[in-house]
Amino acid sequence: MNRKPNLKDVAQLAGVSAITVSRVLTNPEKVSDKLRHQVETAIEELGYIRNHAASALASNRSGVLAVIIPSLSNIVFNEVLQGVYSAVKQHQLQVILGDCHYSPLEEEKLITTLLSQSPEGMILTGTDQTDYAKRLLKNAGIPVVQLMELTEQPIDLNIGFSHLAAGLDMTTHLLQQGYRKLGFIGARMDPRTQQRLIGFKQAIAAWPDACQSYVMTTPQSSSIKLGGQLLQAVLAESAGQCDAVFCCNDDLALGALFESKRMNLRVPQDLAICGFNDLEASALVEPGISSVASPRFEMGKQAVELLVARSKGEAVPTAPIDVGYQIIRRAST
């Protein structure tokens, strides 16, 4: 089905009347368990989205843009949001924001809720939505942008960069500087962090000289304190031989830097440290921390422009848009 499923489609699939479907949606207690199950099964199979605001959509415009990010407290996504908000003003759109806490299932629930508000478009972080969420979005009949990473099979539109390639390039930078006993520390291990780790491993495997690697990861939320703890674990695992550490983000890198100073390790003479995301603090500490920079503000802004153009029927790129990244070399490496 290429169009958005409606109430009649649900009734036909469930083998009941449209009135019965309406009752299940509005007064489920007045419908038998058998009929309710039939209707709910049909709703899930079709990816039907109940439109609570139908009466207010005579103009076919809700003026709403839905945005879902993994964390409201992470400055990385705040910069994306700044780009989004900078662009919506001129298009008379209001943003409805959801925080999925890095959970695909929570994201699925948010998508269902936000779609019921009839948004004119939706911006998502990442590409690891559940199959049901993808079906909902494809049936919704609105433009969708997946941000921050690239995928060969986008739901609709895709803007991002390769975290694997970025991880590989940053690790190669360390190898080019002469480091051969490299550590990787990672937290939460969401799909983008996992790609960075794959790039780390590929760079070491491809290097012509013999190298050693030490990987320490945890599902815990990232923090500066955790960066120090993971550095301790890497140094213990390597019996103190680790001479460079690639941190999956700058929070961990800052923690590793502070811990190295506490341990009287010279950076980068005794231990090189690099991060990811190029937060402002990474350039302000001493020594400055090498990191991977990406145009997060521009990604958010461009996502809005794409959605608006698509909603107007204008031609937009259907292939993923690679915004690239930059290896920022500082004194820590």
Cα separation values, 161 from 25, 164, 191, 196, 325, Å:
41, 9, 13, 12, 7
- Residue linked to tokens 């259907």: 318
- Residue linked to tokens 């990442």: 126
- Residue linked to tokens 């415009």: 61
- Residue linked to tokens 């709910």: 40
Measure the CA–CA gap between 172 and 168, rounded to whole angstroms.
Answer: 6
Which domains does the chain carry?
7-46 (no CATH), 60-161+296-325 (3.40.50.2300), 163-293 (3.40.50.2300)
Measure the CA–CA gap between 136 and 164, rounded to whole angstroms.
Answer: 29
Q: What's the pLDDT score for residue 58?
A: 39
Contact between residue 82 and residue 72 where contact means Cβ atoms under 8 Å apart: no
Per-residue pLDDT of the chain (333 residues; tens, 9 = 90+): 567 888 888 989 999 988 888 888 877 778 898 889 999 999 988 888 876 444 334 345 678 999 999 999 889 999 999 999 999 988 878 899 999 999 999 999 999 999 988 899 999 999 999 999 999 999 998 999 999 999 999 999 999 999 999 999 999 999 999 999 999 999 999 999 999 999 999 999 999 999 999 999 999 999 999 999 999 999 999 999 999 999 999 999 999 999 999 999 999 999 999 999 999 999 999 999 999 999 999 999 999 999 999 988 888 988 999 999 999 999 999
Which is nearest to 244 in space by CA: 218, 280, 207? 207
Cα separation values, 127 from 3, 11, 139, 157, Å:
23, 32, 17, 11
Q: Name residues whose C-beta falls within 8 Å of residue 265's C-beta, 6 or more positions apart in sequence.
A: 271
Q: Which two tokens stand for residue 301?
A: 């802004």
Q: Per the confidence metrics, is the pTM higher than 0.85?
A: no
What sign for the dihedral angle of Cα 167, 172, 175, 181?
A: positive
Q: What's the pLDDT score for residue 51?
A: 63
Contact between residue 70 and residue 125 where contact means Cβ atoms under 8 Å apart: yes
Would you call the peptide bond into 317 cis, given omega within 30 degrees of 0 as the criterion? no
